[in-house]
Structure formats: structure tokens, C-alpha cells
Amino acid sequence: MPAVRRALISLSDKQGLIPFAQGLVRLGFELLSTGGTRKSLEVAGVPVLDVSQYTGFPEMMDGRVKTLHPKVHGGLLGRPDLADDAKSMSDHGITPIELVVVNLYPFVETIVRPNVTPDEAIEQIDIGGPSMLRSAAKNHKYVGVVTSPAQYDRVLAELERGSLSFEFRRELAATAFEMTARYDRAIADYMSGLTSIGPEGSDRDFPANLTLAYERRSSLRYGENPHQRAAFYVESNPPPSTLAAAKTLHGKELSYNNLLDLDAAMQIVREFRQPAAVVIKHNNPCGCAVAETLAQAYLNADAGDPVSAFGSILGFNREVDAATADQLCAPGHFIEAIVAPSYAASAFEKLTTIPKWKANVRLLECPAMLEPRPVSQEYRRVTGGMLVQDRDETPEVTNEWKVVTTRTPTADERADLEFAWLVGKHVKSNAILFAKGGQVLGVGAGQMSRLDSTFIAAFKADDRARSGVCASDAFFPFRDGIDQIHKAGITAVIQPGGSKRDDEVIAACNEFGIAMIMTGRRHFRH
């Protein structure tokens, strides 16, 4: 151990800096620092040596060059117990640096701000910080590298006992390399986005090389099945309207399947401005409704398929109030989890004290659930590779929809068709959905034949389908689907169109007096 214990501190995020630095000084460390970090320490009365005084070389170019110096990196990379390294350090007045405390310029936080220019973004590309982290992490046998305020207490505790253990230094080094890898990936992705890769820029959003950086939020008990291991990872700075930004207020640990279903619930209720409720089972909506009140929306959603609703995941697009909680707590209901923008205090108390499942139900809160967010990409693994596409979240262009039948939908039918279309886009293909009065009545999902999905939706809806509407996520390839929905009593249909037999399907609708809208947009969900 050198006679002088030296720590180099250079921070963008100064949370916890002062007490940590005071602790290091109390343990006998001399502090080296730069720029804003040094000024913060000086204002707090913490003794600190400017890096420029140590190197004998001034900061220059608006601070772009300050720590890129042999006396800094020699102190980080030198191995004092190797004769050649020790001689070089002695010859050039290089003191070993025992601890490096560094986090990086806020590049990611900068590029997500609206209207940020490339020049502004590029100025937030840290050079010296990653260089110091990599040098210290490479030489972790001798140097501790600290990258987060969350590490400060443990670092001080180990230093109180003498020095950082090798195992802890290796753990800190791994975290540092993870940080620089994520940082470099964000820069590479941003720079690729500034460059047209395809002949007309068609590949701008799909870089030639794709590296994803996600942080583990939690380890899960298991995956889809008990024999599968699983974990939940989140992206850096997830939009506040996403599941990753939701907060768990109550209940037992979330499972892999819970998370999938909660995300599906959020995606659907985000579609509506009226009070909306959705009932999710196995990633499909078995019930969904809009109404004047949230309580009524829930009652209608649950009534869509009450058998399937047992043990379901629920989503709401309004604060869960006492009236809604009363309905949720009624006998015969069993709920696995709920996601909503918020919960009234009285509703929260009822949900966590009244029903039999009170201790287990997971209650998640996402206040920004309805906020707009940019269309993002989704990733799906195949063996040996990855499929990437834009999420199917772009707004529906309803003024481009076309009525293709002799009869035009009534105002009530039109409202139900729009409702059914928005819910149906979230149903697994082949998807057929029956609705009436802002309520889902029957869903046929995930079938190999569209006709099979039609039979299932009709079976689920039963007599309630009469005078209802039907949404289909893709075109009807034959008229047999129209024949079936006519038998069920459906009076209006919405579908993308695009089949070679569209004329045959339209003729069948005209024969039965069914109104049909073609949207020109398909919503497959495989």
C-alpha cells in the first residue's frame, strides 16, 4: 500500500458526493478532482487537489482535455509490485491511484430531450471518464473503480476494515465495464441514426449491428413454466407510460406471465379516452369495455366472459375509485393483478383488506400510463437470431376507412366498430372479436383458421351478438366467415380488406344487409 492513499473523483451525477468524499478523507485519502466536482468539494470544505496541479498540465479545450495524461493513467494502470512498473512510476513522479470514482456525461439523458441537436448530443460524449473507468477496471487487482452512489456505503465499509477485497474490486470492475459498454452502445446507435445506411435511408432505424443493453430489474421465480428460469430487464430511462415505469404498491412477487399480461392490459386501455377496463387471460383480452364510469366499464368487461375472467389480470385507464373497488371485491371474483394510473385511498384499502385474495393481489400504479410515447421497436428471439420491428402503435387513420357495402353503418354501429377495431388489434391472430355497446362479447383468438375464430367468438357471445359488430384483424379469405357472423346476428363488420375474394365477401354482406368498413391496415399478432 503506498504511503499516500489517493482517490480520483470526477462526477457528472454528484448525488452523495460530499459525505462519501468526507469519509475517504477521514480514512486518510488524498483526493484528486476536476472541474465541477472539485468546486463542489471545495465549497463543502473537503480538501482536494486539482488534477492539473498533479499533472502539471492545464485543462484545455473547454475541459475536453484534463485527465488524458500519463500521470493519471500511469497511476491507474501501474502495478507497483512489478519492478519495471514501479521504476517507471518512480522515474516520472507517478503516484498509484487506489480508488477511482467516476460516472459519465449524461449522453443518454441528453438525446431523449426534444429538439436536441447533433452538436449538443456530441458534446455529451464523455472521453476521459470511460478511459479512466477502463484503465481502473483493467487494473482492478490494484484499483477500486466506483461508478454509482449506490456503491458508496459498501466501499467505505470495506475501507474501514483496511482495503477493498479482491472479490469486491472484481465485482466493481465488471459493473464499470457494463457501464462503458452501455454508454458506447448508446453513442453508436445515435450516430447510426444520423446516417442513412440504405440506398434511400430505409435502414436508418435498423443498424448493421445490433447490441441491446438492459438492466436487470429483478430475478423471477420462474418463466412461463416452473422448469424455466427467468428475469425482468428494463431499458435505460424507460418512458414513463411503460410497464417498466410502473410501481408495485402491494402484493406478492410478480411472475413472468403476470408481466406479460400486465403489459397487454396497459396497451389496450391506453387506446381509449373514455373510462376503460380490460380483462386479460393468457395475453388476450377476454373482456373489455368503455363506459361513463370506471365501475360500469369493469362490470361490462367482466361480463364479456365471466368464466375466463377468474384469475385474470386487469387494466384501467382511470384512478381506481371506491365504486370500482366495491365491484372488484364482490364475491366470486379472483384477481391476480391490476394496473392503473392510481388508486383512491379508500379503493386501495378495500382491495388490500376485504377480498379473500387481498394479501396476494398485485397492485401496480403507472401515473403516466396515458401519456404519448414515440413508436418504439420490439425484439423477438428466434433460435440463433433476432427479429426487430416497429411496435404496432401508430394511430389509426379513420378518415381513410372506406364503407364498401350498400348499407352504411349507423352511428352506434360505427362507434362499436371503432371500439372493436382498437381492442381486436391486441388479440392473437387469427383474431375475431364481437362487440356491442362499447363491450366485448366474444373473442376468437390464436386459431389456425379465421373461420374457427369466428365460431369461437360466436359461441362466447351467444345470443348477445345479435345487432352487434365484428372486427377481424386481417381479411376474410372466403365468404364463409360472413355466413357465420350473419348466423350469430352481427350487423356490421370492420376488416382490413385486401383479399382476392373481397368482392365475394362484400357481396355476402350486401346479401345479408351487413354494413362493412375496410381499413386498409392489418393487425396480425403472431
- Other beta carbons within 10 angstroms of residue 15's beta carbon come to 12
Give every CB contact of residue 162 below 8 A, 6+ residues apart in sequence.
Answer: none
Q: How far is CA 274 from the centre of its chain?
A: 25
Give whole-number Cα distances, 469 to 395, 481, 491, 494, in Å: 21, 13, 6, 8
Q: Which long-range contacts (CB under 8 A, 24 or more apart) does 327-330 make?
A: 327/295, 327/298, 327/299, 327/302, 328/298, 328/355, 329/354, 329/355
The Cα–Cα gap between 317 and 443 comes to 21
DSSP 223-279: SSSTTS-EEEEE-SS--TTSGGG-EEEESSPPPHHHHHHHHHHHHHHTT-SS-EEEE
Give whole-number Cα distances, 26 to 10, 22, 47, 461, in Å: 19, 6, 11, 73
- Would you call 487 a catalytic residue per the annotation? no
DSSP 174-205: HHHHHHHHHHHHHHHHHHHHTS--STTSTTTT
The Cα–Cα gap between 285 and 268 comes to 8
- Would you call 92 a catalytic residue per the annotation? no
Is the Cα dihedral 113, 116, 120, 124 positive or negative? positive
Catalytically annotated residue among 14, 69, 138, 250? 138
- Tell me phi and psi for residue 247, to 5 degrees: -115, 130
The Cα–Cα gap between 278 and 314 comes to 6
Give every CB contact of residue 404 below 8 A, 6+ residues apart in sequence.
Answer: 497, 502, 506, 516, 517, 518
CB 376, CB 391: distance < 8 Å: yes
Task: Give me the count of residues in the chain.
Answer: 526
Give whole-number Cα distances, 492 to 239, 418, 507, 509, in Å: 37, 11, 14, 9
SS3 sequence, 433-450?
EEEECCEEEEEECCCCCH
Give whole-number Cα distances, 327 to 299, 332, 342, 352, 424, in Å: 7, 10, 17, 14, 26
Catalytically annotated residue among 14, 69, 252, 282? 282
Helix (H, G, I), strand (E, B) or coil at 7: strand
- Other beta carbons within 10 angstroms of residue 155's beta carbon come to 20
Could you tell me the end-to-end alpha-carbon distance of the chain, in angstroms, rounded to an integer?
61
- Tell me phi and psi for residue 379, to 5 degrees: -120, 135
Active site residues: 138, 282
